[in-house]
Structure 1
Amino acid sequence: MLINHEREKLINLIIFLSNNTNNCGKIKLFKLLYFIDFEHFKINGRSVTGLKYAAWKMGPVPTELFEEIDKPEPDMAEALEFSLVPTNIGRPMLTIKPMTHFNDEHFTKRELKIIVNMAKLYADKNAEEMIEATHLENSPWDRVFNKENNKKGEIPYEYALKSGEFDEMLKISKEKKDVREALG
């Protein structure tokens, strides 16, 4: 049985992003998780966190995490404190305060490289800039929200791939599975 530690990765990824980017509120967090998951899928054929993203008006949203933030499960509540703080734009911003240190033990080197690169790339971006970055034409979000007109529809990870790449990835995956089965 394959153990992937997605929950531990998610919590530690939130810790890392809140410590390594400026003004990491809910919107920025959601967009960073999306970029990391879809970039990793593009390279490895799987996400880092296992989250599913929906195409909402403001961009991709990991719906399960969106719902959990209001009432975190015990493991997340022990590691992270979520609170609302007033802003000068009229609506409060969710802030994230890590209650423990980042633990990289369940991440691969490739995952960590993508995480660090995304954190650096978007370190100083604000929520509006993050929304704009996810709304680019032909992005997975754009394909679901605008082209398919599937408001709040799930964004398939396969949309991160160029045409034909998904079929090739499936072929390689099947070949690897056949080799593992042959080796017993």
Structure 2
Amino acid sequence: MLKTHEREKLINAVVYFASNTAHCGKIKLIKLLYLLDFEHYRQTGRSVTGLDYSAWKLGPVPAAFFQEWEQWQSDFAEAIEIQPERVFDFDLLKVVPKAEFDDSHFTRRELRLMQQLAERFRDEFSKPLVNFTHDEKGPWSKIWESGRGFNRHIPYSLAIRDDDPHAEAVREYADEQASMRSVLGVMN
């Protein structure tokens, strides 16, 4: 049985972004996770968290994570909590870590990508991230198609650009990983 540690990575990516960015609410967090997963897939042929994203009007959404936001499972409830935050006369909800970040299941590349995203969007609200998640040549846009693709799955393979000199190698590796997961079985 192949163990991916995707659940542990998801929880710790949330803890990391909550610890290293300001105003980290649901929307900002979802966008950071999307950028992390799709950029890592573009570079390596696999995501970090294993989340499945769907095309919604406001951008790519990992529906299972979005639903869990309403009632955290115990592992998430031990790691984070949601607290109110008052910013510019607005009441927001932000993610606050209760646990320390654990980097034990992450690769150096995954850690570097999280750090780069946290630094780039540290003080931003969710709105500026829209420019990146809604890129007209990006995966969400290719599925969304002015609303015709509402709630359709966004394949990670769309993160690989055809003009990328390593595109074929990344696609081949992604196919090998998918085959291996299928044959060996996957356990999070």
TM-score, normalisation: structure 2: 0.84
8 Å contact from structure 1 (residues 69, 82) kept in 2? no
Letter in 1 for 2:5: H
8 Å contact from structure 1 (residues 145, 151) kept in 2? yes
Residue 173 of structure 1: how far off its partner (Å) = 5.8
Distance in 2, Cα, partners of 1:174 & 1:54:
21
Distance in 2, Cα, partners of 1:47 & 1:6:
9
Match of 2:39 in 1: 39
User: What secondary structure sits across from 2:54 in the alignment?
Assistant: strand
Letter in 1 for 2:83: S
Letter in 2 for 1:105: S
Cα distance, 1:89–1:141 mapped onto 2, change above 3 Å: farther
Q: CA offsets, 1:127-148, max 9 Å, x none?
A: 1111232111111111111268
Match of 1:171 in 2: 172
8 Å contact from structure 2 (residues 45, 173) kept in 1? no
Distance in 1, Cα, partners of 2:160 & 2:137:
11
Match of 1:146 in 2: 145
8 Å contact from structure 1 (residues 26, 93) kept in 2? no
> Structure 1 residue 10 and structure 2 residue 10: aligned?
yes
Q: Which has the higher contact order (CA 8 A, sep 6+)?
A: 2
Q: CA offsets, 1:127-171, max 9 Å, x none?
A: 111123211111111111126820121111000011386654343
User: What secondary structure sits across from 2:95 in the alignment?
Assistant: strand
Match of 1:63 in 2: 63
Letter in 2 for 1:144: I
Gaps of 5+ in 1: 179-184
Distance in 2, Cα, partners of 1:9 & 1:115:
11
Cα distance, 1:159–1:89 mapped onto 2, change above 3 Å: farther
Q: CA offsets, 1:35-66, max 9 Å, x none?
A: 00000001111100000111111111111110
User: Please, what is the CA RMSD of the aligned residues?
Assistant: 2.4
TM-score, normalisation: structure 1: 0.86
- Give the length in aligned residue pairs: 177
Cα distance, 1:126–1:64 mapped onto 2, change above 3 Å: same
Percent identity of paired positions between Structure 1 and Structure 2: 40
